[in-house]
Structure 1
């Protein structure tokens, strides 16, 4: 899908110290929305993924996010951290060390490069005051599950001591392989949980992407309740299509978020939908209110 190709490109092209999602002056300006005091309940730490609003200047996104009650921006690298700090927003899940979604820890030929990049990035994340850094399994390229687990363990064990030293959590994303990320290895919760068990570190967790896991395995609420101890981050989007969390999609987000809260989760829930409506900030506000249970 075009949306997923955009994310692949954004993640693959990020370079530490560079803002990869800059905005051209030729792009349309979005009017600043005026929202009433929404009186968020305080049970959810709300965030929003930068790449989904990549055609909006980051300063403007930060201003709008704060109005809505969002506390953090998701999936930004070091080049954007100063802007977040200027607006008093957290970086809920950092990126910039990964090679991309396809070229991950399950492939030994990428280990040397990944080890170098994560070894350099982890201290930067900690120095900036942040706690989480994304990573990916990579595509299978013919590997069975056992080979994928072994390769991931061999590589990740070389950087986990650094993550533990700096109190940074490496977070592997669960992505669907049916629609968006063909051949991706960490495409179901049991695979990711088994990797967590083999690594045996509190500094390695999973990003449970509700959109992706609804597509690949369903049974979202039970899966979350049965595996919450291995999950440190959540993403949202409507299924199908990855758009707003409205009446046109099949997931009932209030029940899902209540289930997440019931596990004692205190991390961030990041909106990762692609706005399809004209007022993109109203869409974002509506999504936050739907998830604010």
Structure 2
């Protein structure tokens, strides 16, 4: 991550605690003044909105739930079992569960981590299902000199052992696409095509991809075409502004209304989670604007 708040460190803390609008519409949501930002959003229902816990770590989980609910957000990403009761109290879903992964760099592409990963995921999958949730994050890990074929083979070898349990409990393991150019150097699942090939080799509907729009813009670009070409392998989306990983407003290069429209046109019914690091003092106002921008 490229800011003072680093997702790698934030995730360590979380794990330790665990665990249709056209282009002419522009960034109209960005024009909200203070009085408008205090008003509840009237969401259109075409996008299911979520937010990533670690980006708002200055707020406790209870406060984040309260503020998210006001905006119309339906769930919170990257939350483990310890905080699920708080989400349930506020009628929010754990939209991308975590807590089974070791970290972002030691993943399924390396056999030496398989025993511990399989132990962790074997314990976590039933917990996710018992709580009424569906999605559990996982990571490829860093290459450490491994070519694509070795990475795919090792991932298949490890993940295949978990697929029967995931299928039994109707839990989907979701591997995140991260950029290896800037934030996560040497990460192996750094291209949509790489992740899609892994999905094909596993051949299970209980393994999908988390398409992080920020990360994939950095590593490969061509965001809308890749979403259209690979949407059948994608279970979840993350957002953030490029460059900087901050607000998704007109200070950055991605045009999120068009991206959201492309996602909706694929028939996607999952969640789009905001994963930007707010620069503005009023972090909740930034979150509300982001949801407005994405609510096509």
Normalising by the smaller structure, the TM-score range is over 0.9
How big is the shift at 1:7?
Answer: 1.2
Point out 4+ residue stretches in structure 1 off by more than 6 angstroms: none
Identify the residue that residue 73 of structure 2 maps to in structure 1.
70
> In the TM superposition, what whole-angstrom CA distance separates every residue of 1:37-76 from its partner, at most 9, and x where no partner exists?
3210011110000000011111111111011110001110
Aligned residues: 280
Cα distance in 2 between the residues matched to 1:9 and 1:135 = 16
CA-CA distance at 1:2 after TM superposition: 4.9
Q: Which runs of 5+ in 2 are unaligned?
A: 20-35
Shift of 1:4: 8.0
1:228-270 per-residue CA deviation (whole Å, 9 max, x = no partner) reads 0000000000000000011110000000000000000000000
How far does residue 10 in structure 1 lie from its aligned partner after superposition? 2.6
Match of 1:252 among 250, 255, 270: 255
In structure 2, relative to structure 1, the CA distance for the partners of 1:198 and 1:113 (3 Å cut) is same
Work out whether residues 2 and 244 of structure 2, in 8 Å CA contact, stay in contact via their aligned partners in 1: no
What is the DSSP-based 3-state SS (H/G/I as helix, E as strand, rest coil) of the residue aligned with 2:182?
Answer: coil
Question: Aligned pair in 2 of structure 1 residues 110, 292: CA closer, same or farther (>3 Å)?
Answer: same
Task: Name the structure 1 match of 2:139.
Answer: 136
| TM-superposed deviation, 1:168 | 0.2
Residue matched to 1:29: none
Contact 1:41-1:292 within 8 A present in 2 as well: yes
Please state whether the residue corresponding to 1:46 is helix, strand or coil.
strand
State the shift of 1:19 in Å.
4.7
SS of alignment partner, residue 207 of structure 1: strand
TM-score between both structures, scaled by the size of structure 1 = 0.93
| 3-state secondary structure, aligned to 1:225 | helix
Question: Cα distance 1:154–1:93, how it changes in 2: closer, same or farther (>3 A)?
Answer: same
CA RMSD of aligned residues (A): 1.4
Structure 1, unmatched stretches of 5+, are 21-32
Normalised to the residue count of structure 2, the TM-score between the two structures is 0.92
Please state how far the C-alpha of 1:3 moved relative to its aligned partner.
3.5
Contact 2:2 2:183 in 1 (8 A): no
